[in-house]
Chain A
Amino acid sequence: MPEREQKRHRAPERETPEEAEEVAPSAKGEKLKAEMDDLLDEIDEVLEDNAEEFVRNYVQKGGQ
């Protein structure tokens, strides 16, 4: 096995802007989860009715 390159390439530190939102991590996690739940509800509504047929019919010819 060739020797694994150990050197890490780090770009110089830059100032990071202050956090725009000061939400505790757990609350933030719950908020994200709630948003994702809402999104999944929406997706259930808009996802093509017959997924199998939709996927089967999606055939593309001659592309670059």
Chain B
Amino acid sequence: MAVVKVCGTETEYGIQTIGMPDTNPIAASSMLVNAYVADVKRRAAWDFDDESPGRDARGYARKGSAAPDIETHLANAVLTDGARYYVDHAHPELSTPECSTAMELVCFDKAGELILERSMEAASRVLDPGQEIVVYKNNSDGKGNSYGCHENYLMDRSVPFARIAHQVTSHFVTRIIFAGAGKVGSEGPGSSAGTITFQLSQRADFFEEEIGLETTLKRPIVNTRDEPHADPRRFRRLHVIVGDANCAEVATFLKVGTTSIVLAMIEDDFLSSTGSDLTLASPVRAIREVSRDLGLSKPLDMATGRQMTAMEVQWELLRLGRKYAEDRGLECVGGSDPGGAILDRWEDVLNGLESDPASLARQLDWVAKKQLIDAYRERHGLPWTSKRLAALDLQYHDLRPERSLFRRLDTEHLVAEEDVERAVYEPPETTRAYFRGRCLERFAPWIASANWDSLVFDLGSDPLRRVPMMDPLKGTAAHVAALLDECETPQQLIERLGA
């Protein structure tokens, strides 16, 4: 039986400074993260001093503190919602807390955007007039430089990695038809300027290998990084680097939801048992073909010698997903309710893509962006090479509310605004992120370091006390909420845990 598909995203945001010619992107990213952390602490202190519990309604009070993780001079914070917010490769990066369903992850992914938005506001308060730090949730600068939105999925260690890599590749290549964030033009090796006007994916241009360990050059479709951040005898964390950063909630939901189901089918060796072979003859060639095929009709060469379109591969995966749900159930993706919602939405979107892709402008990033750019191009009579279209593409992903073009579109929301607001401060209840987040909220001054798989407490006189969290499904609200409520001090908590 497949393990629960605990999942999370790590988003590297594009960063741009205005009026700060001497500031490099690493320094700007650090300023951004530090400004946010300082601002949250200030709010928490203010709420506390004010002794006005009524103000807690907005979720600020006593939920604000963040513990710095002192392993590097770069900004690096673990937040009370269980997320990690830091500087990586000259970008601000936010890793969501571990979530147990795709829908939960949509909420925490959006909360991540809100954290970046508030970071920009916090930075603007300490910068000089005329200076500004701006972040973009995209994956490319249009000049051949890419930065990622990685996904992570919990898998059973006993599943042979070769099977995962072999079977998941066709999903990674073809899910672009709904998970692509859209891009004007093309970049990287083999691209000839002007011939590609628009493509479905931000990232497809940058993948040159089928499988490998790299993440910054010669990027592989399947990444082999083996760093489980959990008990390595029981678990694997599949690190997925091939996806686009999505703004549209439905796109994120489907990207993560369909991948969770496909991985569960691989884990239970269900795909092999159906006799279905969706192996692509040349995945690297295919990922570019799919991304550049706006008509969604290009036949891809399959290893069997036949051809299938990306749509056909996705229809087949959906058919198998429905069969898997009937035969094995959907416990590992949250049960029949949230799991079934993934299958239903998957089907709706494939139907929409087949009959009229434009009908999905409220659901999918690439469709929304394409529609916007087409209309703008038509109104101003612009050629595809116009810099104004490239600007429009970038600005779609601008996280400043007053500048974001995505925000101006009436896209479909799957999670309520108040839930996203809460997810900025409160952890998910269904994974170990709950224990991490609640401990940081309650006992931050005594936490020497917070990592994915442990918390280290410094209680003063004793040696440091490490609380291991090797199972991502332990430390949930069901396990530890009562215990945490009963403990008034970190000493009591450590004693009760026997750590």
Please give, as numbers and ranges, the residues of chain A lying within 8 Å of B391 by CB-CB distance: 47-48, 51, 54-55
Instruction: Map CB proximity to A onto B335-357 as digits: 1 under 8 Å, 0 otherwise.
Output: 00000000010010010000000
Please give, as numbers and ranges, the residues of chain B lying within 8 Å of A27 by CB-CB distance: none
Given contacts A55-B394, A60-B91, A64-B215, contact A40 B375 (CB under 8 A): yes
CB within 8 Å of A: which residues of B? 12, 14-16, 25, 88-91, 139-143, 145-148, 150, 215-216, 241, 299, 301-302, 305-308, 312, 315-316, 318-319, 322, 344, 347, 350, 371-372, 375-376, 379, 386-388, 390-392, 394-395, 402-403, 405, 408-410
Question: Are A11 and B315 touching (Cβ within 8 A)?
Answer: yes
Question: Are B315 and A9 touching (Cβ within 8 A)?
Answer: yes
Question: Are B146 and A63 touching (Cβ within 8 A)?
Answer: yes
Chain A 38-64 residues near chain B, CB threshold 8 A = 39-40, 42-43, 46-48, 51-52, 54-64
Please give, as numbers and ranges, the residues of chain B lying within 8 Å of A4 by CB-CB distance: 299, 306-307
What are the 10 tightest A-B residue pairs by CB atom distance, in nearest-first order?
Answer: A63-B147, A9-B315, A51-B391, A60-B141, A64-B148, A64-B215, A62-B89, A51-B388, A52-B387, A5-B306
Please give, as numbers and ranges, the residues of chain B lying within 8 Å of A55 by CB-CB distance: 142, 387, 390-391, 394
Please give, as numbers and ranges, the residues of chain A lying within 8 Å of B408 by CB-CB distance: 39, 42-43
Give me 14 A-to-B residue pairs in the complex whose CB atoms sit less than 8 angstroms apart, sorted by A's number.
A2-B307, A3-B306, A3-B307, A11-B322, A40-B379, A52-B387, A59-B141, A59-B143, A60-B14, A60-B147, A61-B25, A63-B145, A64-B88, A64-B150
Interchain nearest-CB distance for A36 vs B (Å): 5
Give CA–CA (A43, B215) in the complex, Å: 35
Please give, as numbers and ranges, the residues of chain A lying within 8 Å of B215 by CB-CB distance: 64
Interchain nearest-CB distance for A48 vs B (Å): 5
Interchain nearest-CB distance for A37 vs B (Å): 8
Chain A 1-42 residues near chain B, CB threshold 8 A = 2-5, 8-12, 14, 35-36, 39-40, 42
Question: Are B306 and A61 touching (Cβ within 8 A)?
Answer: no
Across the interface, name the chain A residue whose C-beta is closest to B16: A58
Please give, as numbers and ranges, the residues of chain B lying within 8 Å of A63 by CB-CB distance: 12, 89-91, 139, 145-148, 216
Question: Are B306 and A60 touching (Cβ within 8 A)?
Answer: no
Across the interface, name the chain A residue whose C-beta is closest to B241: A64
Interchain nearest-CB distance for A29 vs B (Å): 11
**Residue of A11, A39, A58, A59 touching B372 (CB-CB under 8 A):** A39
Q: Which of A42, A62, A63 has the most CB of B within 10 A?
A: A63
Across the interface, name the chain A residue whose C-beta is closest to B346: A11
Give CA–CA (A60, B312) in the complex, Å: 36
Give CA–CA (A51, B376) in the complex, Å: 14
Interchain nearest-CB distance for B76 vs A (Å): 16
Give CA–CA (A60, B145) in the complex, Å: 6
Give CA–CA (A24, B344) in the complex, Å: 27
Question: Are A5 and B14 touching (Cβ within 8 A)?
Answer: no
Across the interface, name the chain A residue whose C-beta is closest to B343: A11
**Residue of B306, B350, B394, B402 touching A54 (CB-CB under 8 A):** B394
Further pairs besides A3-B307, A4-B306, A60-B140: 15, Cβ < 8 Å: A3-B306, A40-B375, A43-B372, A43-B376, A46-B405, A47-B391, A51-B386, A51-B388, A55-B394, A57-B16, A60-B14, A60-B15, A61-B25, A62-B216, A63-B91
Give CA–CA (A51, B409) in the complex, Å: 21
Please give, as numbers and ranges, the residues of chain B lying within 8 Å of A61 by CB-CB distance: 25, 89-90, 145
Give CA–CA (A62, B318) in the complex, Å: 37
Please give, as numbers and ranges, the residues of chain B lying within 8 Å of A40 by CB-CB distance: 375-376, 379
Give CA–CA (A60, B24) in the complex, Å: 11
Interchain nearest-CB distance for B89 vs A (Å): 4
Question: Are A9 and B319 touching (Cβ within 8 A)?
Answer: yes
Question: Are B305 and A2 touching (Cβ within 8 A)?
Answer: yes
Question: Are B375 and A46 touching (Cβ within 8 A)?
Answer: no
Question: Are B315 and A8 touching (Cβ within 8 A)?
Answer: yes
Across the interface, name the chain A residue whose C-beta is closest to B149: A64
Given contacts A47-B395, A48-B395, contact A5 B307 (CB under 8 A): yes
**Residue of B88, B318, B347, B388 touching A47 (CB-CB under 8 A):** B388
**Residue of A35, A39, A58 touching B142 (CB-CB under 8 A):** A58
Please give, as numbers and ranges, the residues of chain B lying within 8 Å of A3 by CB-CB distance: 305-307
Give CA–CA (A3, B305) in the complex, Å: 8
Interchain nearest-CB distance for A12 vs B (Å): 7
**Residue of A39, A47, A54, A59 touching B409 (CB-CB under 8 A):** A39
Interchain nearest-CB distance for A35 vs B (Å): 8
Interchain nearest-CB distance for B312 vs A (Å): 6
Please give, as numbers and ranges, the residues of chain A lying within 8 Å of B386 by CB-CB distance: 51
Interchain nearest-CB distance for A2 vs B (Å): 5
